Chains A and B, each alone.
Chain A
Amino acid sequence: MRLTRRSTILLRVAVGLGLAFIYIPLLVLGLYAFNASKILEWPPSGLTFEWFPKAIESTARDALWTSIKVALVATTIALVLGTLASLAVSRHRFFGRETISFLVVLPIALPGIVTGVALNNTFTQVFGIDLSLFTVIVAHATFCIVVVYNNVIARLRRMSTSFEEASADLGAHTWQTFRYVTLPNMRSALGAGGLLAFGLSFDEIVVTNFTIGAGEETLPVWIFTNLFRAQQRPIVNAVAVIVVLISIVPVYLAHRLTREEGGAAAARGGKPIEAEATAVP
Chain B
Amino acid sequence: MRTQDAHPVRTAWCVVAGLLAFMLLLAGCGGGGDNGGGGGEELSKLGKGEGQVNLIAWAGYVEPEWSKPFEQKTGCKVNVKVGGTSDEMVQLMRTGEYDGVSASGNATARLFEGGDVDPVNVDLVPNYKTVFSDLKDQPYNTFEGKPYGIPHARGANLLMWNSNDVRPAPKSWSVTMDPKVASKYRGKISQYDDPMSIAEAAVYLKMHEPDLGIDDPYELSSEQFDAAVQLLKEQRANVGEYWSDAEKQISSFANGDIQVGTTWQYQYFLLKEEGKPVAASPASQGFLPEEGATGWSDTWMISSEAEHPNCMYMWMNWIIEPKANAQVSEYFGEAPAQELACKETKNPNFCEEYHAENPGFWKRVYYWKTPLADCGNGSSDCKDYNDWVQAWTSIKG
Task: Please give the residue numbers on chain A whose beta carbons come within 8 Å of chain B beta carbons, in ascending order.
Answer: 39-41, 91-96, 122, 124-126, 130-131, 213-215, 228-230
Pick from A41, A92, A125, A214: contact of B32, CB under 8 Å: A125
Pick from A40, A215, A229: contact of B97, CB under 8 Å: A215
**Chain A hits for B248, CB < 8 A:** 228
The complex places the Cα of A229 from the Cα of B247 at a distance, in Å, of 6
In the assembled complex, the CB of A239 is this many whole angstroms from the nearest CB of chain B, namely 17
Known contacts A126-B30, A228-B245; 20 further A-B pairs (Cβ under 8 A): A39-B251, A39-B254, A39-B255, A40-B251, A41-B255, A95-B9, A96-B13, A122-B27, A124-B95, A125-B32, A126-B27, A130-B97, A131-B95, A131-B97, A213-B97, A214-B81, A214-B97, A215-B97, A229-B247, A230-B251
- Whether the Cβ atoms of A39 and B274 lie closer than 8 Å is yes
- Whether the Cβ atoms of A126 and B23 lie closer than 8 Å is yes
Q: Tell yes or no: B98 within 8 A of A by CB.
A: yes
The complex places the Cα of A27 from the Cα of B134 at a distance, in Å, of 56
In the assembled complex, the CB of A251 is this many whole angstroms from the nearest CB of chain B, namely 33
- Whether the Cβ atoms of A40 and B255 lie closer than 8 Å is yes
The complex places the Cα of A124 from the Cα of B255 at a distance, in Å, of 42
**Chain A hits for B245, CB < 8 A:** 228
The complex places the Cα of A214 from the Cα of B306 at a distance, in Å, of 13
In the assembled complex, the CB of A47 is this many whole angstroms from the nearest CB of chain B, namely 19
Chain B 21-43, CB-CB to A under 8 Å as 1, else 0, gives 00100110010110000000000
Q: Tell yes or no: B73 within 8 A of A by CB.
A: no
- Whether the Cβ atoms of B26 and A93 lie closer than 8 Å is no
- Whether the Cβ atoms of A91 and B6 lie closer than 8 Å is no
Q: Tell yes or no: B167 within 8 A of A by CB.
A: no
The complex places the Cα of A70 from the Cα of B274 at a distance, in Å, of 40
Q: Tell yes or no: B250 within 8 A of A by CB.
A: yes
- Whether the Cβ atoms of A95 and B13 lie closer than 8 Å is yes
- Whether the Cβ atoms of A93 and B97 lie closer than 8 Å is no
- Whether the Cβ atoms of A228 and B255 lie closer than 8 Å is no
- B98 nearest in chain A by CB position: A214
The complex places the Cα of A126 from the Cα of B28 at a distance, in Å, of 9
**Chain A hits for B10, CB < 8 A:** 95
Chain B 1-17, CB-CB to A under 8 Å as 1, else 0, gives 10100100110010000
Q: List 7 A-B contacts (CB under 8 A).
A: A39-B254, A91-B1, A125-B32, A130-B96, A214-B92, A229-B247, A230-B250
The complex places the Cα of A130 from the Cα of B97 at a distance, in Å, of 9
**Chain A hits for B255, CB < 8 A:** 39-41
The complex places the Cα of A39 from the Cα of B9 at a distance, in Å, of 62
The complex places the Cα of A39 from the Cα of B3 at a distance, in Å, of 67
The complex places the Cα of A95 from the Cα of B9 at a distance, in Å, of 7
In the assembled complex, the CB of A101 is this many whole angstroms from the nearest CB of chain B, namely 16
The complex places the Cα of A228 from the Cα of B247 at a distance, in Å, of 5
In the assembled complex, the CB of A66 is this many whole angstroms from the nearest CB of chain B, namely 16
In the assembled complex, the CB of B59 is this many whole angstroms from the nearest CB of chain A, namely 9
Contact (A125, B251) CB under 8 Å given A95-B6, A130-B97, A228-B245: no
Tell me the B19-77 residues at the A interface (CB within 8 Å): 23, 26-27, 30, 32-33, 54
In the assembled complex, the CB of B54 is this many whole angstroms from the nearest CB of chain A, namely 7
- Whether the Cβ atoms of B98 and A125 lie closer than 8 Å is no
In the assembled complex, the CB of A212 is this many whole angstroms from the nearest CB of chain B, namely 10
- A231 nearest in chain B by CB position: B247
In the assembled complex, the CB of A8 is this many whole angstroms from the nearest CB of chain B, namely 44
**Chain B hits for A40, CB < 8 A:** 251, 255
The complex places the Cα of A213 from the Cα of B96 at a distance, in Å, of 10
- Whether the Cβ atoms of A94 and B9 lie closer than 8 Å is yes
Pick from A96, A122, A215, A230: contact of B247, CB under 8 Å: A230
The complex places the Cα of A215 from the Cα of B255 at a distance, in Å, of 34
- Whether the Cβ atoms of A125 and B27 lie closer than 8 Å is yes
Contact (A228, B95) CB under 8 Å given A94-B6, A126-B26: no
Which 7 residue pairs of A and B lie closest in terms of their CB atoms, listed nearest first? Answer: A95-B6, A214-B97, A228-B247, A94-B9, A228-B248, A126-B27, A95-B10
The complex places the Cα of A229 from the Cα of B248 at a distance, in Å, of 8
- Whether the Cβ atoms of B23 and A125 lie closer than 8 Å is no
- Whether the Cβ atoms of B23 and A214 lie closer than 8 Å is no
